[in-house]
A and B are shown apart, each in its own frame.
Chain A
C-alpha cells in the first residue's frame, strides 16, 4: 500500500469516523447537561432575546477594546474567511465533499483558491507571531501550539501539492490528506471545537448576563 492509498483509504476513513463520533459525543455530552436551576427573577424581561443576540454582537470586540485588539481581530477574520472559502470552494474539496454527501456546487477558479490558501497561511503565521511576541496576553498552553500546527499543516501541504513543489505530487497529496485526517480527528477534542462551541458559549454568557441585568 502506497502512502497515498493509505491516506485516501483507511487513514481518512478512520479520521472521519473519529471526527463524526467526537462531534456527536461532545455536543450531546454538553448540551444534554442541565443548567443549574435559577431561583431569581430575571432583571430584564427581554433577557432571553438579548442573550441570543450576543451570538452575533460578540462577533466583534466591544468598543473599548477596538484599538487594542484590532490586529488580531482583523487577522483572525481574514484567516477564518479565507480558510472557509478554500475549504468549500476549490474543486478537489468539492469532489471530496460530494463523494461523502452527494452535494456539490460551483467551484472558484484555481488561482483564487491558491491566493486564498496563501492568505490563510500567511494570516495564520501573523497570528502565531503575535502569540509568541506577547506571552503575557495569551498565556498559551501546549494545546494552543498543537492546534496551530494541526491547522497549518493541511494548508501548507495543500498549497505545495497544488503548486507541485517539494516532493512528487502523489506524495504531497498523501501528506495533505494525512494532515487533514489529523485535523479531523483532533478537532472534536481540542480548542478547535470552538467551530461549534462559539454559538453556545456566547449565547450562554449572553443569557447569564442579561438575566442579571448586565448591559451587553
Chain B
C-alpha cells in the first residue's frame, strides 16, 4: 500500500506529470458529463484527497475484475488511483492472511464507521454453505460489512446482477448484492470484466465531489453506461448497408463487416467499450473481430448462444412446435371426422324416415 498521504504525492512519486494527470482529469470529467471547466478543480481536489478506506469483498467470482483493474500493461493513472485508496481488505491483494486479515477488516470498519466504501465482486449464494470466508457465509459477511458502509460499489456483473454464477441452472442460488442490501446507496459497475476507467471514474467522482454519480435504471453510472455500443460502433455503416460477416474467416470478416449475424449483442448492450476501448484505448472486442457478448447487461449469459444473433428466439429447440402441429392436426381432423359422421347419420336417418 502506498505510503503517500495524498494522491498528488503518490502520483508525483511515481513520476506522473501534472500534464498527464490533468489530461486524465479532463477525460474523466468529460466522460462523466461534468462541466469542462471542472478538470483543474478536479485535479486539485483529487491531488489533495485523503485516502478513503475501501473494503473489497470477493464472493463467487473469478478474480477477472481485479485482474482487469490491476494488470494493465503499464501503470496507468487508473490503477494508481486505485492503488491510492486505502484498500484495507482484499483477499487477492492483501499481504495479511487468516486471522490477521479478518482483524484488519474489523479495524477498518471500526475506524471508518459510516465512511468506508464497500467494493464487491462476485455474486452471493443463497445456499450459504456454497461459499464461506473465515467461517462466515458470503451473505453474513456482506450484511455485516455493509451495515456501517457509506456506499456499496459493485465491481463486475456478478455482484451487480448475479452474472455467470447466477446463469441457468444457478446451482448455488446466487443473487446480486442489491438483492440483499436494501438500505445503502449502490452503484453498479458491471462488465465481465468492467472497464477500469469506469471503476476509477466512480471513485474519482466520489473523491472529488463527495457524491456518487447519476445512475441509469439498472443502477449503472450513466456516464459510462448511457450509450448503446451498437450506436457507437465503427462497423455500424456496414450494418446499415446490410454487409455482414457470415463466418469468422470469410471475406466479410476480413473486410471488417458487421458482426451482427455472428451473434453481436451490442444492439442491446450499454457500455463504454466502443469509445473508451480497452488496454489504454488500443482496441475493443468488436474491433478485434468478435461480437459483443453484452457482458454489462443483467443475465447476459442466458441471452441465447454467444454466436446467435439478437434476432433469434431464445426458447431452445422447436420440438414443442412440431408437437403442436401434430396435436392441432389431430384435433382438427377428428372434429371434422365427427362432423362428417354426424352428417352421414342424419342423412341415413332421413332416408330411413322415407
Contact = CB atoms under 8 A, between A and B. Distances in A.
B299 A5 contact: yes
Contacts, number: 124
B229 to A, nearest CB: 11
B312 interface: yes
Contact of A21 (B244, B267, B312, B324): B324
A107 interface: yes
Contact of B228 (A10, A18, A92, A169): A169
A104 B341 CA distance: 44
Contacts of B337: 32
Interface string A22-56: 11111111111110000000000000000000000
Interface size class, chain A: 35 or more
A144 interface: no
B34 interface: no
A29 B260 CA distance: 42
Interface stretch (B52-60, B63-71, B176-184, B234-242): B234-242
A17 B311 contact: no
A96 B230 contact: no
Contacts of A164: 231
Interface string B317-354: 01011001111110111011101100100000000000
Residue from A21, A96, A110 with most neighbouring chain B CB atoms (10 Å): A21
Contacts of A16: 313, 321, 324
Interface string B216-235: 00000000000010110000
Contact of A5 (B230, B303, B320, B329): B303
Contacts of A173: 267-268, 310
A114 to B, nearest CB: 10
B27 interface: no
Contacts of B240: 110-111
A140 to B, nearest CB: 29
Contact of B260 (A23, A91, A108): A91
Contacts of A120: none
B332 A95 contact: no
Q: Which 5 A-B pairs have the closest CB atoms?
A: A24-B328, A21-B328, A32-B336, A28-B332, A92-B311
